[in-house]
Each structure stands twice: as structure tokens, then as C-alpha cells.
Amino acid sequence: MLFPFLLSLVLPLPVQAQTSLVERMRAQRLRVQLSAHLDAHGLRAPAWGPVDVPSAESFNPQRLFWWLPSNRAPRVELAPLAVRPAPDTTAPPPPVLEAVAWRKVAPSEQEGFLERFREVLWTNEGMRFTALDTTATPELRARLNDRFGAPTRTAVARGVRGFEGSLDVQFEYWFVVNDSIPFVALDVDGPFGKGLVLAGDLEDAAVLGQLKRGLTETLMARPARMAYVDYYRHRERGQWVRTGYDGERFFVVEIDRPRWAGRRSESGRWYLFR
């Protein structure tokens, strides 16, 4: 029953106006992790075509939906796993960008960033599994703070700065690479997750893998941390926490909902994705 569970991680998620970016990028990251898991076992997942309801003679849904009447059980046809061809042993292609200059977007620059990149189609195409994906998110947050300073936006933005932050997101780092390439890094599941949600413009897909490798090398080679304090609302439980690093240890403390957390803007002008 493990494989149906894994399949559920890679199926498309419903589009919702404000959480769409986070959900899509989280789903993409799960696809990368699943692909790496299959790679390790010499397997590959077949391409997903449209689901045809109600055909699929080769699949018996009663095994999974035994409690449903036969005329209501979903009909799904899944191609079997295939053995992956032998890996390509040729040298990887050279980097697309000869030099990479990271510029973090300051909180005061958000409006300009959104005006310039509002129509970006965010994707993680071309990004492979790296050490970043197995490192605890709080550790990465402390290293990002040391390398780039405070995030572009945190949950506090909703109340302190008077504009909407992304729902259920602890922190967001926005970058403009080489003065023209938008790139964002968000937490996966607040202080409880591993890795980062990374995304760039679909038009820049050819360089996104290089950018993720570069960011991984930067954060892994420089383990220095800087103290920080963030707030996070757990998506499933609705519980608010204060979390951070005090220079010696990481902490997560449950708190009541902050007073500023109830303030909601009526416009989507501050949304990173809509």
C-alpha cells in the first residue's frame, strides 16, 4: 500500500487563490524527493496522462475502495513502474551562468518586485535533490540569516508592516539573481520541516538547477548561524508558535494568536502569487 500513498504526494493539488504558490511548490518538491527515491532503487515513475473515468479495465478499484458500490468506485488506469535505463556517465553540462550575483529583495522593495515579476510562472523545473532537502528548515533559516540577513517577508508582515503575507508561511526570501532572474525560498512546514521550497520563473528553467546547487553550496559550506525570531501558524492545527534561534539553541514555543494576526487586507496586491 506504500505506492498509492506515494502517488498521492505527486498528484496535482487544487488551485486556491492565495495558497496556490506554496501548495504547488511543495508538491513539486515532493516530486523531486520521490524521483530521488526511485532513482536510488533503479526505478522511474511513468508519465501521468489524463485520468479516464470510467474506463480502465486493467485496474480493480474494489481493492482500494471496497466499501463503495461497484458502480461508484473510481476507475483509474496506472502504468506499471519501469526499470530506469543505465545512468548517463558523461560529464554534466557546464554551468549556464558564468557568474551568479544574489541580491535579496528588502522588505521595502516588495512592491517593485511584484510589479516587475507579477506574471512569473513559478516552477522548480531542473532542480535536483541536494543536501538542502535533508537539512532541518530552522538550521537553514539561521544560515540564510547569516548569509543574506533578515527575510524579505515573515508572518509578522501582516500586522507590523500593514500588508498581507503568504498564508501559513514562516518566512520568505525573495532574490533577483544577476539583476534579472527572480528566485524565491520559503519554509516547507515552518520549524517542523526539512529543506526549502525553491522556485524561479519558468522562462529561466535552464538555470534553476545551477542556482539551487549554488545556494546549497553556499549554505552548506558556511554553517555560521545568526539568531532570529519568527512566528508561524501550523496549517493543520491552527496553532501559533514563536520559533527561532537564540545563538545557542533552537526553540519552538506555542502561543496564543497574536493580535496582529487577525488583520486581513481586502486586496491581493501583496500576494507573491495569485
Q: State residue 26's pLDDT score.
A: 61
- Where do the structural domains in the chain lie, given as residue ranges? 2-43+101-262
- The cell numbers describing 103, all together, are 541580491
Cβ atoms 101, 178 nearer than 8 A:
yes
Positive or negative, the Cα torsion across 110, 174, 27, 207?
positive
- Tell which wins on pLDDT, 61 or 211: 211
Could you report the per-residue pLDDT of 81-107, keeping only the tens digit for each? 556 566 555 555 567 898 999 999 998
pLDDT for the residue 8: 43
Res 15: pLDDT: 33
Q: 84-88, 167-171, 193-197, 259-263: which has the minimum mean pLDDT?
A: 84-88
Q: Which residues contact 30 (CB under 8 A, 6 or more apart)?
A: 9, 10
Whether the Cβ atoms of residue 187 and residue 197 lie closer than 8 Å to each other: yes
pLDDT given at position 204:
93
